[in-house]
Amino acid sequence: MDETEVVVQGKKHWIWAFTTPAETFVVIRKSRGTKVLIEVLTRRFKGMIVCDGWKPYAKFTNRIRAYARAHLLRESKDLAEKIAEAVPLHRALGETL
C-alpha cells in the first residue's frame, strides 16, 4: 500500500492505494494518518503490509511488515554513504532484492 499527495479543488488530500495480487482499492482522504488505515483495513486486519516504512504503518500494526524494495535500497544507500561499515550490507541487499 502507499499514499501520495493529490490536490482536490485546491486543497491537499491523499490518494491511498491498497493492493493484493487480485485487487486494488483506492480512496482519497484529507488525512495521511493512521485513521485511514483503521477505516479501510479495520482493526481486525492480520495481513502483511508492504510499505515505505512511514510511521503510521508501524503505528497501525505490530504484525509483520515488509518494506518496499526501492525504499529499503535507498535507505541502505544513504546509510552506506555515511558509514563505511554499512557498505557491505547495501551491496548484499542490492544483490538479493
> Cβ distance 58 to 65 under 8 Å?
yes
For residues 81 and 58, membership in a common domain is answered with no
For residues 57 and 86, membership in a common domain is answered with no
Euclidean distance between CA atoms 14 and 2, whole angstroms: 10
For residues 73 and 52, membership in a common domain is answered with no
Number of domains in the chain: 2
C-alpha cell at 51: 510499505
For residues 5 and 51, membership in a common domain is answered with yes
Task: Report whether pLDDT(85) > 70.
Answer: yes
Cβ neighbours of residue 11 closer than 8 Å, sequence gap 6 or more: 30
23-67 residue pLDDT tens? 999 999 999 999 999 999 998 988 888 887 788 888 888 666 667
For residues 30 and 50, membership in a common domain is answered with yes
Instruction: From residue 32, give the alpha-carbon distance in Å to each of 14, 29, 52.
Output: 6, 7, 13
Domain around 85: 68-97
Q: Which residue has the higher pLDDT, 73 or 71?
A: 73
Model-wide pTM > 0.75: no
Helical segments of the chain, H only: 34-41, 55-60, 69-82, 87-96
